Amino acid sequence: MSDTNQQSSLEQPGEELLKDAGSSVGLVQTQTVRLFQGDQRLLLASGQSLGPIDVAYETYGRLNEQRDNAILIVHALSGDAHVAGRHRPEDPKPGWWDHMIGPGKPIDTDRYFVICSNCLGGCMGTTGPGSINPQTGKHYGLTFPIITIGDMVELQGHLIDYLGIEKLLAVVGGSMGGMEVLEWAIRFPGRIHAALPIATTARLTAQSIAFNAVGRNAILSDENFQQGNYYLTDNFPNNGLSVARMIGHITYLSEKAMHAKFGRRLQHSQDYQYNFAQEFSVESYLDHQGTAFVDRFDANTYVYFTKAMDYFDLSHQHASLLNAVQGTNCRFLVLSFTSDWLFPPRQSQDLVNTLIAADKDVTYCDIDCPYGHDSFLLETLVQGQLIRGFLQQTYLKLSYAGKAAGSPPLSQPATPAAQMNITPRIKKNGSIFEGFRVDHRQIARLIPPDSSVLDLGCGDGTLLALLQEQKNIRGMGVTLSTDDVLACTRRGVSVVQYDMEKYLHSFAEKSFDYVVLSQTFQVIRQPKKALRQMLRIGRQIIVSFPNIAYWRGRLHLLWRGKAPMWKQLPGHWYDKPEESVNYLSIRDFENFIYKQLNARCITRIPFSSRTGRQVRFRPNFFADEVIFVITDECP
C-alpha cells in the first residue's frame, strides 16, 4: 500500500538509515517479455481470462549454475520493476529499494540473482488498463478485467518459468508486496524456500478498505475520469488521483514523523491569513506529493490495485488462516514496525501466531522505527541485518541439505560453525559442549538428538544453535530483545519477538519435545500460569535458575542483612530488571512442582557454576544453580 518510489517521503527523515556499505548495481535496463500468446490465456480469479500479457521486469546479479540462488522482489501499490540501480547516469534517484539490493548489501547481488517485475494491471510496462487491447486496438480502460493478488502472483510464476527457474530461494515484499509473498507461499508451496512478508497483513481491516474506497471515489468522481476512457484526451483525472494519493500518503506516515517534520508550521507567512489557501507546511507537502504522483502513475491502475488489495483475504479464500498456511513448507521471516498504524504489528502477530500453530519455521521481529508504514522503505539498520542473516542462513541450510542428499551444493558454501559463530572449544575430555555456559552444557546433554525444542528467553540463541549443530534438533526461540533476534537470525535460529507470558497460548499442545526456561524463571511474573502453559506445550520442560539458598546468599543475609549477591545474582537488588522478583531455592521449587503444578520431577541437577560439577551433598546449601526436568505425563 506504501509508495515504493518515495524513498525520501519525509525529505530524508531517515537519511542516516539509507547509507549502506555495499555498492550500487549500476546502470540497469528494464526488459519486457510477452506471455500467453496465441491461444494461451491467463485464467483470472474472476472467471475471465487475459492474453497476450507483456511483463516488464529487471534482474540484478547472476543466476548460478544450479539456478537456485534467485530471489523475487515484489512491489507495493505504487511501485514498479525498477527496484535498484539507475537507468541513466543522470537519474536523480535510484530504484525504490536501492539501499537494500546490490553488491555487499543485505540482498547481496554478488551472491543472489534478484528479479523484480511490474505487477499485472500496472502502468510501468506490464499489461494493465492503460495498455492497448489487441482485440479492439483501443486502451483497455475499465474493460480490463478485475484482478486479484492471486492473479498477480500467477503471472509472476509464469515469468519465473520463462526465466528457467524451478525454485526461488526467497520471495520478498512489503505492504501489497507482502500480500503477494503470502500468496506465493500458499499458491506455490514447492517453489520457494523462504518467504519474507514485511509490513503487511493476511487481509485488510475495514479501516484500510475505507481508505482505499475514499481514494477510488476521488478518482471515479473526477469529471475527467470519463469511465476510465481518458487516454486519448488532454484531460486526465489528475485532481482525483492527486487527492487519492494525499489520502494514501497520510496513512503511510506516523503522527510522530509528521509532527517532527511539519508540526503546525506555516509555509509562507508568520501568521494566519484567514482564507482557504494552503497555509500549513503539511498541506504544501501533501499537495506536492499529489502533483508528483499524477506525473508518473495511472489512475486506473490505482483503482485496480486498491480493489485487488480489498479482495485479498486468506481466511475467506481458504476457510481459515490456519488452513491457508497449513500447506506451506518454506521458512518465514515476518517483519512489522512499531509505528505502522495502517498495517499495525498485531496483524503481523496474528499471522505469526497462525504459523506457530501450524508448526511452521517462522522468525518475527517488530522493529522500532518512527516512520509509520513507510518504515520498510526507509529503515535499513535492523531490517537489513535481519534480511541479510535470514537469507544467508536459508542459503547455507540448503547448501548442506543438498550435500546430504548428494546433489551439487549451492555456490559459496561456508562451514556451519563459522556461520553460526558457535565454534566449540573442545577440551581434553573431548566434549563438544566445553566452552559454553555451564547450564547450557548440562541442558545440551539432557536433550537427545532429533528432538524439538522451544527455548523461552533464548537470549542470543547460543543454546539452540549448539543443539541444532550437534544434536540436529528442530528449535525455536522466544525473546523480547531486538538485539537477540538479530543474533539468533545470524545463527540460523528461528525466533519470535514475543512476551512469552502473553503468547504461550499460540503454541499447540505437545508441539515440542522440550520447552526450556534457562535462567529466566526468576523474571516470570506469573510462574504458575507460565509453567502450566509450558507443560501443555512440551512433553518435558527444563528449568534452570540460581539457588537463593546457596551458602553465599545465606551468608549475605546472616552477616550483612542485605539481599544476596554472587556470580549468578550480580548487582544490587535495585539494579535488577523490574520483574526480577522470583528469588527461590531448590527446596522451594521442589514443593512448587508437586503442590502447585501437580507435576513430577524426572531429573534434578544441582551444580556449581564455578566448577560445572554436580553437587550431591546438601545441594540446597552448596549448589548455586540447579536444573529441573519436569513432566505432567504419566511414567
Active site residues: 175, 340, 373
For the chain, give percent helix, strand, coil, nearest 5.
35, 20, 45
Alpha helix segments (H runs only) across 320-370: 321-326, 345-357
Hey, what amino acid is at 479? Answer: T
Between CA 191 and CA 328 the distance in angstroms is 10
HSE, side-chain direction, 13 A CA sphere, residue 523: 16
Q: Are 535 and 529 in contact (CB under 8 A)?
A: no
The gap from C-alpha 146 to its chain's centroid, in whole angstroms, comes to 29
**C-beta atoms surrounding 616 within 10 Å:** 10
Residue located via cell numbers 527444563: 542
Q: Are strands 538-546 and 512-518 parallel, antiparallel or unpaired?
A: parallel
Residue located via cell numbers 552444557: 441
- Sign of the CA dihedral 90, 95, 101, 106? positive
**C-beta atoms surrounding 499 within 10 Å:** 11
Between CA 195 and CA 72 the distance in angstroms is 10
- In terms of phi and psi (left: phi > 0; alpha: psi -120 to 50; beta: otherwise), the region of 23 is beta
**C-beta atoms surrounding 39 within 10 Å:** 6
**3-state secondary structure at position 182:** helix
Between CA 545 and CA 537 the distance in angstroms is 20
Q: Are 159 and 151 in contact (CB under 8 A)?
A: no
Q: Are 417 and 423 in contact (CB under 8 A)?
A: yes
